[in-house]
Amino acid sequence: MTPRGTHGEDSGGGSGSSRMSQWRTKLVFVQIKRLMILTLVTLLKHRGPDWSGLYQHGDCFLAHQRLAIVDPASGDQPLYNEDKSIVVTVNGEIYNHEELRKRLPNHKFRTGSDCDVIAHLYEEYGENFVDMLDGMFSFVLLDTRDNSFIVARDAIGITSLYIGWSLDGSVWIASELKGLNDDCEHFESFPPGHLYSSKEGALKRWYNPTWFSEAIPSAPYDPLALRSAFETAVIKRLMTDVPFGVLLSGGLDSSLVASITARHLAGTKAAKQWGAQLHSFCVGLEGSPDLKAAKEVADYLGTVHHEFYFTVQDGIDAIEDVIYHIETYDVTTIRASTPMFLMSRKIKSLGVKMVISGEGSDEIFGGYLYFHKAPNKEEFHRETCRKIKALHQYDCLRANKSTSAWGLEARVPFLDKDFINVAMAIDPEFKLIKKDQGRIEKWVIRKAFDDEEHPYLPKHILYRQKEQFSDGVGYSWIDGLKSHAALHVTDKMMLNAARIFPHNTPTTKEAYYYRMIFERFFPQNSARNTVPGGPSVACSTATAVAWDAEWSKNLDPSGRAIFEVHQQAYDKQAAPVTSSIVPPEIIDNVPQMKVSTPGVAILS
């Protein structure tokens, strides 16, 4: 969106011919900008291949690429209030839209879209309505009555969003970096749980839960309350008018999502339209841990299961596409995004447009294996808070962009606002990993669904050790990536890494390789600053690396870096950075994408 700025103002005065000349100049400028936006918004068409919309008011533009999930027949955007004075473009889903419509009895809605409530809520409540929304969303709302606008992003940052500023005073908003105006002097990730108001020219936080302060909670563990909260979170995400399924890796989180969905699908509107048998999807290398476990869970639940295989070479060949779409150079994100990117393409080819996924559980419950070394419950809890706050830079970014690259939507029930409130209020003493008491990682959620009378999952699946997605698809995937990077990044290149990349300097050849590709697509300083950095082991924050002195010697994001915890841990004496399983002869030269992509767009 480019709000009204200096280019849109008429200073007045002067002769008639002068005013006519000014008017023509202004008209030409606006038309040029419109053509530019129409051209460059196509860079986001992969996110919404179903329809394109563009609204213009003076020199304010709202463009949208739609992926139709709810009310695909009439929910095209932009959306309006009754007299079209309020205009909205939205990416996301509002799960409580039917309840919100009941709170607006004097309003008439143009469509059945879940996002149609936003313009009317603003008209009724002003900027303070955002906290009423239960869902995942990024939106731009233009009030044509005074040419003001607001921008908001969901609580956790499930949907991606960026904001940029140009020297001419215009403000640009886009779902992806590639959609921002190349003339933006500065741009950054739009922070989750925030609202930007043009009237104030500033961001302010609208999401202020109790856990955000990182104060240590003291509520007793109530397994039935936790179970109920998560079932509710999954059920509300069955709102769809298109075919859908679940991503099933065979790990705890995705298996619980699949189990609950399979239990409650019958009787829903989705079941009446598309059938009551759930479809599940899994990806992996031949013989990978995830494929085996997912098949077992699928058979147990009776889903229509789809297995997708890829080779290490398939993944390597896709790396440039992945970095272009995911817009990061973070090692663990790229490792995990690649199989998800490949799987999403296969899923979309089957006619499916929405999937439910298990992201967020490890952050909320301390599921990563490094949590075994948490020194006390206070540090355990603070680390979970830090991890949730950073999700928009990692797993949310991966889930959103890996799927959106192919016009597929991912929903994540573990990041439901109400569920997070319940889970983060539990005294972290109950979340601590205590092997002597039989409590492994994420024990509280495992125990909540350990129902002897009506089991949700087989016991060994319910208590399967945490496996990071990039590991679970097959251990040779990461080893192959490291081998490939070693062929393209020399020791001499690594010696100069700090001079070439002074910000977030890559410390491994794999990281250097990804950084080179990222910089070709996104060379701006602002772009590299959107990617997080700092030391990490097994997906920890930099703060948690201090929990174990040995970790600083092996800063690898794989769960196998946690010696004596992961069942398939790296050999402590080995050098995992240079380990190789993939024969060099199957590794081709770096594939080159043909198109470079600076650009402009609004929001999709």
User: pLDDT tens, 16-36?
Assistant: 566 666 666 667 777 888 888
Rounded to whole angstroms, the Cα distance separating 221 from 216 reads 14
pTM comes to 0.89
Residue among 281, 251, 273, 460 at smallest CA distance from 356 = 281
Residue 234 φ then ψ, to 5°: -70, -45
> What pLDDT score does 583 carry?
38
For residue 538, what pLDDT is reported?
Answer: 83
pLDDT for 29 equals: 72
Burial of residue 110 (number of CB atoms within 10 Å: 0-12, 13-18, 19+): middle
Predicted local distance difference test score (pLDDT) of residue 585? 35
Alpha carbon distance 256, 466 (integer Å): 14
pLDDT the model gives residue 551: 87
Per the CB < 8 A criterion, the answer to whether 478 and 471 are in contact is yes
Nearest to 64 by CA among 85, 97, 37: 37
Q: What are the pLDDT digits (tens) for 93-150?
A: 999 999 999 999 999 999 999 999 999 999 999 999 999 999 999 999 999 999 999 9
Query: Radius of gyration (Cα) for the chain, nearest Å?
Result: 24
CA dihedral 21, 25, 27, 31 (to 10 degrees): 150
Token code pair at residue 400: 């959103």
DSSP 564: T
Note the pLDDT of residue 181. Answer: 84
Determine the length of the chain: 604
Give the pLDDT of residue 105.
Answer: 95
Eight-state DSSP code of residue 276: S
Q: Which segments of the chain have a pLDDT < 70?
A: 1-26, 466-474, 557-604
Query: Which residues are CB-contacts of 282 (< 8 A; sequence separation ≥ 6)?
Result: 247, 248, 249, 250, 290, 291, 294, 295, 298, 305, 306, 307, 308, 343
Three-class SS of 466-526: CCCHHHHCCHHHHHHHHHHHHHHCCHHHHHCHHHHCCCCCCCCHHHHHHHHHHHHHCCCHH
What is the structure's pLDDT at 31?
A: 82
Q: What angle do CA 439, 445, 447 make, to 5 degrees?
A: 60
Q: pLDDT digit string (tens) for 256-267?
A: 999 999 999 998
262-271's contacts with Cβ under 8 Å and 24+ in sequence apart are 262/301, 262/302, 262/303, 263/456, 264/231, 264/234, 264/235, 264/238, 265/238, 268/238, 269/239, 269/240, 269/241, 270/238, 270/239, 270/240, 270/241, 270/244
**Residue 459 and residue 306: Cα distance in Å, rounded?**
23
Identify the helix (H) or strand (E) that includes residue 317: helix 312-326
d(CA 68, CA 51): 8
DSSP state of 266: T
